[in-house]
Structure 1
């Protein structure tokens, strides 16, 4: 659901739950077509997660997952709000969690997935260059990271590009990239059978195509 449309109208700055409740109704109706959760998108500035607590709580009670955007255009406070008030099952972006190490420890302990989009973060000027991006810091802190492309039609990137980027910029090995791929599958809401199938395919590809040496080569050094 779009954040800022709830803070406009006749009372600018005051939260109006009308649209959120309508989105919840559509989300509940959409479950028979594969709908699995509630999202919260858009610029976080001036539109914090806390006012959406009731609608997300209703959604959770009805079996929907909580999958808000947080920690992109606002800092760690936004992620804390998503965790505490929206009972987030995973966080879209969440990269600015790194600004609060207590939050990083919380995310790592609970293994809340962060859907990180490195190229998008640079294009939107969250960080001046990729070498200043906290991707590796979050990963080495034990946070459950998945790689994502965000908006390929706007950014001109692909999911494969994101894997290539983190390998080159942060010195990851093929084993690391396979780990991120597995994270994505395990963090998804696919059926247990589908997850097992895709995880098996990754393991088979790894076994049949890579030697032990190839798996551990730092890809940034191979160019």
Structure 2
């Protein structure tokens, strides 16, 4: 029996060291060497302070900023830990709403969002990504159309020319990866930081 147990034990220790220690350390080291920004969370800094990640959206609500997609993520209710309450862009609880297209709650939420958005920019078609949540609830990007739709509201709130905001949207628009993968997109945090830099330079 010892003749069987000894090689089995050695093999377990060896494989544990290789797959549980050596391989993860090698991959972590390679990632830090080749893709340091991505390996550390694609963090975005402002004046040396981390203000967010390029991979996780934030809930901008001020009229002076571009807003992202709706987020269906939730978190524990501070008043009752056994219940949940909406917490947009809660990275600890990535999820979609799982509400079907005939669900009354989804219908009323989209209807309310549509009414509010049409009030911001009467006559313009509301981009679909401004009223629909993503599967993760953490989408940091919106379409260029969704960003441009918000320009009149922000121009009025900040007292700036709409043409300036159009240029900021164009400057921060990312094209499809390799020109093929995905759609043109605008990172909302990056766009709002560019907006603040413009305001600060005035």
Normalising by structure 1, we get a TM-score of 0.22
Q: Tell me which protein shows more strand as a share of its residues.
A: 2
Q: Which protein has the bigger helix share?
A: 1
- Structure with the bigger RCO (C-alpha within 8 Å, sep 6+) is 2
